[in-house]
Every structure is written in C-alpha cells, then in structure tokens.
Amino acid sequence: MTVLLALLLAVAALTGHTWLNAARWLRRPTDRPDEVDEAVAVLLPLRDEAARVTPCLRALLAQRGVPGLRVVVLDDGSTDGTADVVRAVAGDDPRVTLLSGVAPPPGWLGKPHACWQLATRADPAATALVFVDADVVLAPHAVAAAVTELRAARATLLSPYPRIVVATAADRLVQPLLQWLWLTFLPLRAMERSPRPSLAAAGGQFLVVDRAGYTAGGGHAAVADKILEDVELARAVKRAGGRIALADGSRLATCRMYDDWPQLRDGYSKSLWASFGHPGAAAAVVAALLLLYTAPPLVAVAGAAAGAAEVAAVGLAGYLLGVIGRVLTARATGGRWWPDALAHPVSVVVLGWLTLRSYHLRKRRRLTWRGRPVS
C-alpha cells in the first residue's frame, strides 16, 4: 500500500506540473499581431511532397502583416513532381523562390542539409528565418504573430507548436503524447531562463529564429548529423548564448504529420532512439512511464476483483490523475480530449513499443526515411 501511495503522489505531482506549465508558463502568441517591420524569410524544404504542399504554400502566400515576407522553397531531390506543383501554385509571385537542392554530403542527414541550403541562400536582408514543414498549414497571421512573440520573448529561437490534426485511432493514441510529454516533464520557465543546452526542446514543423543568433550557433551545419535536428538546433543556440522558448501555436498552425499507421510507426521509430540516448536510459524512462500511468488501472481492476477496496481506490485515483494530465494538455494546445484521454495508459504502452522498435531497427541499421538512411 505504501508503494501505491507513493506512485499516486508522483502522478499527482506530475499532473500538477502539467497544470502549472499550461496555465502559467506556456507562451500564447497573439492572434492579432501588429505589422512586422523587418524582412522575414520563410523556408520550406520539400522532398516528395506533391500531395501535401499545395495548402501549405497557399497559406504562406496568404500571410498578412509581413510586408517584407519572402518564401524560399527547396526541392530536395523529389521524384513525384513536387517542383511542378510549387510552380503551379506560386505562379509568377515575386515573393517565391524555388531552389533545386543537392544531395547531402557525407556526414549530413537530409533534413538538416535541406534547411542549411535554404538558410544560406535566403535574402541576406532577412533578419528572421521561419522554417515550415510541408504538412503545416498556417493561419493568415501566423508568421507575424510568431515573429512578434520571438521579439517579445527576447528569444533567439521560438518553437510555436502547431495543433496536431488527428484522424485515425493510431493518431489519437500517439500524437497527443508529444505535447503531453513536454508539458508534463519539461519546466518551461526554467528552460527559457537556464543557459544549459541539455534543457531544451523544439519542434521543427514550425520554427522561428533570429538570423544573427542562428548564424552564431552554427545553424543547421552544427547539427548536420542529428536526426532530431530541431532539438539539437535549440541546444546549439543555447551553447552560443542565445535563449529559446516554446509556445502554444494551436491558433497559428495545424499539422497532419502522418497519413496512416505505417507512416506514423516509421516516423516515430526513426527518431525515438535519439530522444532517449543510451538504451539503458530509454528502458528506465519507459519503465517509469508504464509504472506511473499503466499500472494504476491494472491495480484498480485487480483490487476490485480481490475485494480490496482501498487498493482499488488508490489505483483508480492514479489512473484518473493521469487522464486529467492528458485533458489539461489537450485543452492547452487545442487538442481533442474526449474520449481520447481515457486511453492514456494504452498510449503509454504504444509509446513503449515504438521505443523498443526504434532501438531494434537502429541496431540492425534498418532505419530510413524518405528513401535515405538516418542512422
């Protein structure tokens, strides 16, 4: 019983931290920003995105409040006609520049190399760089709001996390864990104030960075071989003396990351090993998550079946506290909470399996993405 109570207190403390982050420390960019008076380059790397790029690019061309906006698109060796789609959507709009990328040299992964090509070939007058993925659709005020928040926060790098669009059961089980993990376990205010590179987080789908600070940190050249190039870029910025910040970007952008279960499975498998580092650390974290969030409902059922009312009550309380954490996260980031949060223990189990798969495939050197090896 003492162990069960200790687990209950731990889950309660983590849920309390989720509430504190969501209610007090999570930045929320204004949805009515003033006009931005600096030159801004939006950088869009594309590899085989013909089916996705149209709504993304149309949203970029519909941005308001950024007179100095320029859009630079890189076709990174696509074989599906991505460049033709870009030309059809952009037409003769002088704000858009389409580049043809070159294959990454030894020591580089594809995404960092594409972003580095874009950054180095953007308009030299641009003082803010906005990296956007093809699966992101921005609201008309998104770029202006994000740049405004970057300057208001006095940050070098701002990560406004989009609202993740979920459609399938797999989406609903796995995707909300992204926001839940950093709202539950990452001290947002300390992350902004601390110079420690290890205390960093970022999402590459929508990333805003001061150009001078980006250059000082080495840009994507400093993270050339990193599968989690977004997080590593945030760390590089910190090492160079810059500040980073996370924000709720659910009113600024939406993102449908994967179309189906195989894409989602492979997308997470390619990078989870890099999130945890050493396999021992991954095993410890996954075991702790299972103990905290999957064990309580099992204990509740077992206690009820055995007629141990107190044990069942403690297990049920632990389960409900975990569900509340997911509800808080969803409400803070524009996500769906009902009835999805009730399946939180199942979500944690799936995360554990994906982590195991990630390490297994990496050990066998079978991790690939978009036709390129990633480990």
Domains of the chain by residue range: 1-22+265-373, 25-259
β-pair type (69-75, 96-100): parallel
Residue 281 zone, left/alpha/beta (φ > 0; ψ -120 to 50; rest): alpha
The pLDDT, as a whole number, for residue 1 is 75
Hey, what are 69's tokens?
Answer: 């906006």
CB 355 within 8 A of CB 276: yes
Nearest to 54 by CA among 92, 89, 93: 89
* Burial degree of 124 (CB within 10 A; 0-12, 13-18, 19+): exposed
Residues forming a β-bridge with 209: 129, 157
- Dist CA 297 CA 301 (whole Å): 6
CA dihedral 174, 194, 332, 234 (to 10 degrees): -50
Q: Where are the beta strands (DSSP E) in the chain?
A: 40-46, 69-75, 96-100, 128-132, 136-138, 157-164, 206-210, 244-255, 368-369, 372-373
Q: What is the largest CA-CA distance in the chain?
A: 74
* Burial degree of 365 (CB within 10 A; 0-12, 13-18, 19+): exposed
The pLDDT, as a whole number, for residue 375 is 62
Residue 60 zone, left/alpha/beta (φ > 0; ψ -120 to 50; rest): alpha
Mind listing the pLDDT tens digit of every residue in the chain (375 residues)? Answer: 788 889 999 999 999 999 999 999 999 999 889 999 999 999 999 999 999 999 999 999 999 999 999 999 999 999 999 999 999 999 999 999 999 999 999 999 999 999 999 999 999 999 999 999 999 999 999 999 999 999 999 999 999 999 999 989 999 999 999 999 999 999 999 999 999 998 999 999 999 999 999 999 999 999 999 999 999 999 999 999 999 999 999 999 999 989 899 999 999 998 898 888 889 999 999 999 999 999 999 999 999 999 898 999 999 999 999 999 999 999 999 999 999 999 999 999 999 999 999 999 988 888 877 677 776
Nearest to 196 by CA among 157, 242, 153: 242
Q: Report the CATH fold assignment for 25-259.
A: Spore Coat Polysaccharide Biosynthesis Protein SpsA; Chain A (3.90.550)
For the chain, the residue count is 375
